[in-house]
Amino acid sequence: MRVLGSLHPLFGRTPICHNLDRRKSNMHHEALNYMEVGVVRETLPGERRVALVPAVVPALVKTGLEVVVEAGAGAAAGFPDELFRSRGAKIASSRAEALAAGALLQVRALGCNPEAGRADLVALRPGQVVIGMCEPLWNPQAAAELAKTGVTLFALELIPRITRAQSMDVLSSMATLAGYRSVLLAATTLGKMFPMLTTAAGTVTPAKVFIVGAGVAGLQAIATARRLGAVVSAYDVRPAAKEQVQSLGAKFVEMPLDTAAAEGKGGYAQAMDEEFYGRQRELMTRVVAEHDVVITTAAIPGQKAPVLITREMVDHMPPGSVIVDIAERGGNCELTRPGETLQQGNVTILGPTNLPADVPLHASQMFAKNITTLLAHLVRDGKFPLDMTDEITRETLVARDGQVVHPRVRAALGL
Ligand code: NAD
């Protein structure tokens, strides 16, 4: 227990009490009186993460919450029941018991677990709080289904990208892991090594890696590929990305495109028109053809990812090249099949869909930090006052009292 505890220095501190203390007492609120926090085993096939790790349990218990964990929930991430128990969690004898908690914490609520997630709907009840990832803008129907059960639903994807919410930002945590893993996948698939080596058997030239999209995942991919010794280039439509790419020792690929309007609210990219993407593809054709590895991460929040790599571009890549397409929602390469690895001529195209689950221990550790920071923000004295004047609460609250209440999710549903 001591050894694992030392692996999680992040959770040695307890931000919860601090946050609770500084709450204003005069806000308008509706109190929901629930004291139990439930954690269930994730049911999406291949999902190895767990929403809480043992190290965060003591801080939750200290604030008066009882933590109930389904038996085996943390096993695939490297957190056995005994460790949860030793930190003060109760191990539930059945899934139903953990699902009955007043506040249910999940990595993947229904929208992110469209088939297996449906089985839990019957166990949910009015007023229960559900916090997890649920893709409410991409899969608003699932949010509507959850709303029908009467739960109070918070979507982690909607955490606003503001400074005080940074430690709740699950998208950034998971993108960091995805960027790291994408490079490892490319390195083990490519028939070349990444570093340059001068040996008695001759000189090995370094692999050339091109990263499309230099957001959180892309920047981590650049750093990882550089650590492995590759020569790295990158491109992003947001002008601010250039300096970040260069600061990691990669080359920023210049393209004569009008990107003045490419950055929108919260530092995200804005969707551009098809004429822009057509021109971008044209300009990228030569760059793609010069690289052994292309890792694509370009995304627009809540929308289908732009197609930036065409079949023709793939056909011009060197034999043995690898594309790892981690852009969510369709991918950036027109040939990508999400969840599959395919061969197009001599090029291998990988479309992994859940890279953070391949690093389940650290992914769960980061996720747990994010979700407990949000929980600490939302809970006061073991209750959930819904302070709608608070930006974080307002932006993440998707459903309550049987209704989808988030304006953007309502718009996505045509309401
Ligand atoms: P994302 O996953 O939505 O997109 C990934 C990247 O793809 C982005 O950098 C985007 O600009 C890029 N992209 C979109 N269309 C493209 C195209 N046609 N060609 C090339 N690249 C394209 O974004 P993300 O990684 O989650 O975040 C993007 C930025 O948001 C970060 O770099 C950062 O500046 C900002 N951010 C702010 C906070 C905060 O303030 N708390 C937290 C995280 C991120």
Report pLDDT digits (tens) over 111-150: 999 999 999 999 999 999 999 999 999 999 999 999 999 9
The rounded Å distance from CA 278 to ligand 1 centre is: 20
244 alpha carbon – ligand 1 mean position (Å): 12
How confident is the model at residue 191, as a pLDDT? 97
Q: What percent of the chain has pLDDT over 90?
A: 86
Position 4 pLDDT exceeds 90? no
pLDDT average, residue stretch 338-366: 97
pLDDT in tens, 96-106: 999 999 999 99
pLDDT of res. 94: 95
Q: At what angle do helices 170-189 and 360-378 cross, to 10 degrees?
A: 170
**Per-residue pLDDT at 331 exceeds 60:** yes
pLDDT of residue 171: 96
Is the pLDDT at 30 greater than 90, yes or no?
A: no
Centre a 10 Å sphere on the Cβ of residue 202 and count the other Cβ atoms it contains.
7
Mean pLDDT of 36-63: 97
Q: Which atom of ligand 1 is nearest to the CA of 271?
A: 15
pLDDT band at 7 (very low <50, low <70, confident <90, very high): very low
Q: Whose CA is nearest to atom 32 of ligand 1?
A: 215
Instruction: Give the pLDDT score at 18.
Output: 36
Query: Known catalytic residue: 268?
Result: yes
Those residues whose C-beta lies under 8 Å from the C-beta of residue 199, and which sit 6 or more positions away, are none
Pocket test for ligand 1, best of 163, 237, 366 (most atoms within 8 A of CB): 237
CA 263 to ligand 1 center in whole angstroms: 9
Mean pLDDT across the stretch 160-165? Answer: 95
Is residue 99 classed exposed, middle or buried when 0-12, 13-18 and 19+ CB atoms within 10 A define those classes? buried
> Would you state the pLDDT for residue 85?
98
The predicted pLDDT at position 20 comes to 34
β-bridge mates for residue 209, sequence order:
232, 293
| Residues 144, 142: Cα–Cα separation, whole Å | 5
161, 162, 254, 288: which to mutate for ligand 1, most atoms within 8 A of CB? 161
Select which of 41, 161, 329, 410 is catalytic. Answer: 161
Model pLDDT, residue 231:
98
**pLDDT value at position 58?**
97
Q: What mean pLDDT is predicted for residues 165-177? A: 98
pLDDT (tens digit per residue) in 194-248 = 999 999 999 999 999 999 999 999 999 999 999 999 999 999 999 999 999 999 9
Distance 131 CA to ligand 1 centre (A): 24
Distance 216 CA to ligand 1 centre (A): 6
Atom of ligand 1 nearest to the CA of 163: 41
pLDDT at 151 over 90: yes
pTM of the predicted structure, to 2 decimals? 0.91
Residue 11 has pLDDT above 50, yes or no: no
List, chain by chain if needed, residues with CB within 6 Å of any ligand 1 atom. 161, 166, 169, 171-172, 175, 212-218, 235-238, 241, 267-269, 280, 297-301, 306, 308
Residue 25 has pLDDT above 60, yes or no: no
**387 a catalytic residue:** no
| Residue 275, C-beta contacts closer than 8 angstroms, at least 6 positions apart | none
Q: Residue 305 pLDDT more than 60? A: yes
Confidence class for position 35, pLDDT limits 50, 70, 90: confident
**What residues have CB less than 8 Å from 150, skipping those under 6 apart?**
124, 125, 126, 127, 128, 401, 402
Q: The tokens of 29 are what?
A: 């609120």
In this prediction, residue 21 carries a pLDDT of: 35
Q: Vertex 365, ends 86 and 160: CA angle to 5°? A: 130
